[in-house]
Amino acid sequence: MPHAIETKQLTKTYGSLKAVDSLDIAVEPGEIFGLLGPNGAGKTTFVSMLCTILKPTSGSATVNGFDIVREANKVRKSIGIVFQDPSIDDRLTGRENLFMHANLFGVPASEQKERINRILKLVELEDRADDLLRTYSGGMRRRLELGRGLIHYPKVLFLDEPTVGLDPQTRDHIWKYIKELKQTHDITVVLTTHYMDEADRLSDRIAIIDHGKMVILDTPQKLKDTLEGDVVAVRANNVNALAELVTKWLGFPKTKIVDGALEITVRNGKVVMPRIMELAAQNNIYVESIVLREPNLEDVFLHYTGRNIREDTGKELHGASAARRRAIK
């Protein structure tokens, strides 16, 4: 079977900056392909080229077998996209925006009404459908845009950070719907995201990109397996000191501090935990808690890019650490 997307040495440069640097990526038909990368990694640039909004500087790519430069028209006929940046008409109502999209993207007139109602229900905007977009909240606008991208059933659907700014419940609905769409309509999905849980739950395969280059590509499970080990997370009254001690005396260089907790990646966590406790006690460090967990995508990301995906994105944090952050502000 031909690839849904195939890029060959695809490159986009802005002056001396290589936003996308010789990417060779093949996306299989029917898969959900996740793109993970820190801010400025080149995800949006990559997606923009594939949906014919941007012309590549060099290299080539096909979407659905059509060349993105020479057969841009045919590419457009087979794709759908939810942009990262706003792209709605705020002088029109929600429903008008959806109808316009349906008309532009060739949804049969007989089906428009029903599909639009279904979408409005999905994104929970039925009661606001006939208000002007400018009276919507940010999250409501995002929901409408997301819904809009799902009205027509393209062969390849690009979702550029689709659920940023949405509440968890809505995200959950959207995820379910995307999975359902994929199954019922045989849609290939390219998803860029900052949310690890989103990438993990939705993607069949994930590519991590950084500085325009692909760092690694695999299934979420395999990616986590490559870290081969456990993560020991310690909360203590002086995590920095503990981090130094652990590195120095136990020889574990893979330590990092995440939201005030020291996280150590090791082969066999169960064996290491007592040693850490011992070390802390000897040095008068009070340990509040110590937990052992499997590595998650966040750890994978850090491992391959040397960065924590959240640290410069300003995206929300969860749980206790989030509360603490809020208290500080």
Partner 1 sequence: MSEARGFYTLWLREIKRFYRDRTRLVTSFIQPLLWLVIFAAAFATRFALPANLTYRQVILPGIIGQTLLFTAMFMGINVIWDKEFGFMKEILVSPVSRFTIFMGKMVGDSTDALLQGIIVFVIGLALGIPISPITFFYALPIMLLITFGLVSIGLVIASFMGNLEGFGAIQTFVNLPLFFLSGALFPLKGGSLPSWLVDIAAWNPLTYGVDALRNVTLGAAWTPLQIQPLWIDIGVVALFDGIMIVVGTWAFTRMK
Q: Which is nearer to Mg ion, 36 or 227 (CB)?
A: 36
Q: How far is CA 118 from CA 114, 129, 254, in A?
A: 6, 12, 48
Q: How far, in Å, CA of 108 to CA of 103, rounded?
A: 8
Query: Does residue 45 touch ligand ATP according to CB under 6 A?
Result: yes
Q: How far, in Å, CA of 94 to CA of 188, rounded?
A: 26
Query: Does residue 105 touch partner 1 according to CB under 8 A?
Result: yes
Q: Which is nearer to Mg ion, 38 or 147 (CB)?
A: 38
Partner whose binding site includes residue 292, from Mg ion, partner 1, ligand ATP, none (CB under 5 to 8 Å by kind): none
Q: Which is nearer to ligand ATP, 97 or 192 (CB)?
A: 192
Query: Does residue 14 touch ligand ATP according to CB under 6 A?
Result: yes
Query: Does residue 193 touch Mg ion according to CB under 5 A?
Result: no
Query: Does residue 48 touch Mg ion according to CB under 5 A?
Result: no
Residues 76-105 that bind ligand ATP (CB under 6 A): 84
Q: How far, in Å, CA of 112 to CA of 102, rounded?
A: 7
Do the strands 32-36 and 205-210 form a parallel or antiparallel pair, or are they unpaired? parallel
Site string for Mg ion, 81-120 (x = CB under 5 A): ---x------------------------------------
Q: How far, in Å, CA of 242 to CA of 287, rounded?
A: 10
Query: Does residue 214 touch ligand ATP according to CB under 6 A?
Result: no
Partner whose binding site includes residue 105, from ligand ATP, partner 1, Mg ion, none (CB under 5 to 8 Å by kind): partner 1
- Give the dihedral sign, CA 220/36/2/180: positive
Q: How far, in Å, CA of 109 to CA of 203, rounded?
A: 33
| Closest CB 43 distance from ligand ATP, rounded Å | 3
Query: Does residue 265 touch Mg ion according to CB under 5 A?
Result: no
Query: Does residue 79 touch partner 1 according to CB under 8 A?
Result: yes
Query: Does residue 39 touch partner 1 according to CB under 8 A?
Result: no
Question: 62-76 as b/e, with b when 16 or more CB fall inside 10 Å?
Answer: bbbebebeebbebbb
Distance of CA 166 to the CA centre of its chain: 13
Which residues contact Mg ion (rule: CB under 5 A)?
43-44, 84
